[in-house]
Amino acid sequence: MRPVPKYVGLTVLLAMAGFVALGFLSIRRDVDNLRVISQDNILWSATQMEVELLRFQLSMATLGVVQTEEALDTALDRFDILWSRVFMMGKGRVGELMRQYDEGHGSLAAISSYLEEVDPVLSSLDPHDTATIQAILAKLQALQQELRFYTLRVVRADTAASASLRDRIQSSSQTTGAISLAAVLLSVFALAMILRENRRQRHLVDMNRRLADSAELSSRAKSRFLSMMSHELRNPLNGILGPLALLGQSNLASGQQRLVDQAKSCGQSMLQMLAGLLDYGEMQDGRFRLKPEPFALTTLAASAGMSLTSDGASAMQIRVIPGTPERVCGDLDRIRQIIVHLCEYVLEATGPDCVELIFRHDGENLVIEICLALNMPAVDWKLDLLMGLGDLAPDQVSADALRPLIARGLIAACSGTLRLEGSDSGRRAIQVKIPAEVVAVSNVRVLLETRSVALATIYKAGLKSERVVFVDEGDTGPADIVLVDIGCIGEETLMARLRGANPDALFISLGLPATPNAFDDVVESPSDMGRLRSRILDRMAS
């Protein structure tokens, strides 16, 4: 089914609009003609002038018989009315048409001239002047005959105009009917095209939906296969890296140690790549979830440095800008993966002595900059590929684009941005900004109440941190956290004394106590250092 061109529908709409406009103009023209004829009404005007002339003639005849002043006044009033009628009929469109009907006859001109002539005579007329009255009557009789002929001409002209108007109205009605029929036919044609196009669009929508469902199923199958292969490959790879680690701890020659280190480095790099592919597959399926937790930037820097597997990567400069907040909230593992993928990608084309990794915070975002010491043409095409600006075909750059693809996906998942910054000196930097809220922490005072000094030493070593301060019971100031070993003698007396000295502290029992309600939290296994660290971190964040 071929689609209907857009210009066809536009042409139909324009034609319908044109037909409607023609019908409107035709009907409007006839309405205007009717209005003009009703306003002008030349026949009525001519008849009225004849009637007024007859009334004036009758009043003069009455004056000739009765010869009184009252009859004279009546005649003068009728003369004034006749004069005003003749004067008004000579003005405007009506007067113009009336003069046209009188061309070649002079009836209206003769009446107007006589009225001007007789006006002074009537002003000084004596009611007993019978001769003058008879002369006026004789003249009025002649003018009455002329005015009757003029009225007949107006009747014939008005009849002809009415017949012409009827013919035009009939023609307009026929034209309007034809236009309406054409508009109906065009509307039916347009409706048929719309229905045809609607059916075609529904067919296309159904086909696109089927194709989209098929593509979605295919994409999910690929993602599931990618996830499954990532898991399956990591298991034997871990089985390789474990023996390699044990082999590296044995007494090997320098050449053999170098080979073992190289194999371990390649294996670690492959593990990173598989983890990135697994995350990328989860992002494609919509199953990717971030796990934001407070972490120290120094921990991130150290972890990123240890995860780099390129030759000489340990010599790469990594630093945190002074004044940067010590702890922020974010997904430490995902941010570390971003840094490792970008650094490994850059280190493939340059040495570690030309790359510097810098961490800072701009108040809202964690800013990570991978600075290149010089403007190196050899790495330009890799930077273009990193930013998605490469002009090569996908099959030519698929291998090189894998790390940038994973890094860009992780950055987008973290709501971050990736930019390539430059300076006048030629130095460039890959800048990553990831939203990271600063976590305000302070030192936590921990009081250890244990049965032996050796046990206290073990706990202090396991919970050691730059933010954890271990205090003795006699130190000035209350503790924030009190760790109580259940092996202590006199638990109730001890708890009363500790509660009195540290009223706002968090009390944690190391082991299952006899009175659990006396504690805020219980760590059943005293060797569970992870649980203890988690509670200390929660206390820091609060």
Query: In sequence order, what are the residues at sequence separation of 6 or more whose Cβ sits closer than 8 angstroms to the Cβ of residue 196?
Result: 1, 4
Name the more confident of 482 and 194. 482
What is the predicted pLDDT for the residue at 333?
Answer: 86
How many Cβ atoms are within 10 Å of 64's Cβ, its own excluded?
A: 19
Q: In this structure, are 183 and 48 located in the same domain?
A: yes
Name the more confident of 118 and 147. 118
Q: In this structure, are 416 and 457 located in the same domain?
A: no
Q: Are 179 and 20 in contact (CB under 8 A)?
A: yes
- Partnered with residue 433 across adjacent β-strands are 367, 417
Mean of pLDDT values over 530-536: 70
What CATH number is associated with residue 135?
1.20.120.1730
DSSP class of residue 105 equals T
Name the more confident of 125 and 87. 125
DSSP 137-156: HHHHHHHHHHHHHHHHHHHH
Give, in degrees to the nearest 5, the angle at Cα 266 between 393 and 368: 70
Residue type, 44: W
Mean of pLDDT values over 486-508: 78
Name the more confident of 58 and 288. 58
Domain-terminating residue out of 438, 454, 484: 438
Q: Say which range, 223-232, 466-475, 493-502, 508-517, has the weakest mean pLDDT.
A: 223-232
pLDDT at 433 over 90: yes
Q: Which residue segment(s) compose the domain that 116 sits in?
A: 6-193
Residue 6 tokens, joined:
């857009």
Q: Are 536 and 446 in contact (CB under 8 A)?
A: yes
pLDDT at 453 over 90: no
Top mean pLDDT of 94-103, 222-231, 235-244, 386-395 is at 235-244
Q: How far apart are CA 432 and CA 263, in angstroms?
A: 31
Name the more confident of 139 and 419. 419
What is the predicted pLDDT for the residue at 434?
Answer: 92
Q: Could you tell me if residue 14 is left (phi over 0), alpha (psi between -120 and 50 degrees) or otherwise beta?
A: alpha
What is the predicted pLDDT for the residue at 394?
Answer: 43
Q: In this structure, are 399 and 463 located in the same domain?
A: no
Domain-terminating residue out of 419, 438, 457: 438
What is the predicted pLDDT for the residue at 395?
Answer: 42
Residue 286 inside a domain? The answer is: yes
Number of structural domains the chain divides into? 3
Q: How far apart are CA 300 and CA 323, in angstroms?
A: 16
Q: In this structure, are 36 and 184 located in the same domain?
A: yes
Give the chain's end-to-end CA distance (angstroms, integer).
68
Q: How far apart are CA 444 and CA 468, in angstroms?
A: 5
Top mean pLDDT of 38-42, 397-401, 478-482 is at 478-482
Q: In this structure, are 462 and 497 located in the same domain?
A: yes
Give the confidence band of 397 by pLDDT, cuts at 50, 70, 90. very low
Determine the 3-state secondary structure of 327 from DSSP: strand
pLDDT at 505 over 90: no
Name the more confident of 39 and 330. 330
Determine the 3-state secondary structure of 389 from DSSP: coil
Residue 225 inside a domain? The answer is: no
Q: In this structure, are 429 and 476 located in the same domain?
A: no
Q: In this structure, are 396 and 500 located in the same domain?
A: no
Tell me the residue ranges of DSSP E strands in 106-211: none
Give, in degrees to the nearest 5, the angle at Cα 367 between 362 and 372: 130
What CATH number is associated with residue 349?
3.30.565.10
Determine the 3-state secondary structure of 214 from DSSP: helix
Q: Are 77 and 119 in contact (CB under 8 A)?
A: no
Name the more confident of 535 and 359. 359
pLDDT at 488 over 70: no
Residue 360 inside a domain? The answer is: yes
Residue 311 inside a domain? The answer is: yes
The residue among 87, 92, 95, 134 whose CA lies nearest residue 111 is: 87
pLDDT at 490 over 70: no
What is the predicted pLDDT for the residue at 280?
Answer: 73
- Return the axis-axis angle of helices 254-285 and 332-347, rounded to nearest 10°: 120
What CATH number is associated with residue 492?
3.40.50.2300
Q: Are 87 and 52 in contact (CB under 8 A)?
A: no
The secondary element (H helix, E strand) that includes residue 135 is: helix 130-248
The length of the chain, given as a count of residues: 542
What is the predicted pLDDT for the residue at 359?
Answer: 92
pLDDT at 337 over 70: yes
Q: Are 173 and 69 in contact (CB under 8 A)?
A: no
pLDDT at 536 over 80: no
Residue 121 tokens, joined:
């005579």
Which residue bears the tokens 């409107």? 24
Query: In sequence order, what are the residues at sequence separation of 6 or more whose Cβ sits closer than 8 angstroms to the Cβ of residue 393?
Result: none
3-class secondary structure per residue, 279-319: HHHHHHHCCCCCCCEEEEHHHHHHHHHHHCCCCCHHHCEEE
Name the more confident of 53 and 487. 53
Residue 261 inside a domain? The answer is: no
Name the more confident of 146 and 408. 408
Q: How far apart are CA 516 and CA 527, in angstroms?
A: 19
Could you give the count of Cα atoms lying within 13 Å of 474 in the half-sphere of its Cβ?
0
Name the more confident of 483 and 41. 483
Q: In this structure, are 361 and 466 located in the same domain?
A: no
Mean of pLDDT values over 358-369: 90
What is the predicted pLDDT for the residue at 40?
Answer: 47
Residue 136 inside a domain? The answer is: yes
Q: In this structure, are 324 and 383 located in the same domain?
A: yes
Q: What's the predicted TM-score (pTM) here?
A: 0.48
pLDDT at 534 over 50: yes
Percentage of residues in the chain with pLDDT exceeding 90? 3
pLDDT at 392 over 50: no
Give the confidence band of 538 by pLDDT, cuts at 50, 70, 90. low
Give the confidence band of 432 by pLDDT, cuts at 50, 70, 90. very high
Q: In this structure, are 369 and 332 located in the same domain?
A: yes
Residue 186 inside a domain? The answer is: yes
The residue among 490, 469, 491, 489 whose CA lies nearest residue 480 is: 469
pLDDT at 60 over 70: yes
What is the predicted pLDDT for the residue at 477?
Answer: 76
- Mean pLDDT across the chain: 76
Q: How far apart are CA 499 and CA 497, in angstroms?
A: 6
What is the predicted pLDDT for the residue at 366?
Answer: 92
Q: Are 313 and 342 in contact (CB under 8 A)?
A: no
Q: In this structure, are 433 and 449 located in the same domain?
A: no
Q: Could you tell me if residue 310 is left (phi over 0), alpha (psi between -120 and 50 degrees) or otherwise beta?
A: beta
The residue among 518, 520, 510, 503 whose CA lies nearest residue 463 is: 510
pLDDT at 430 over 80: yes
The secondary element (H helix, E strand) that includes residue 429 is: strand 428-435
Residue 262 inside a domain? The answer is: no
How many Cβ atoms are within 10 Å of 361's Cβ, its own excluded?
A: 19
Domain-terminating residue out of 438, 458, 474: 438
Q: In this structure, are 32 and 169 located in the same domain?
A: yes
Which residue bears the tokens 């026949």? 43
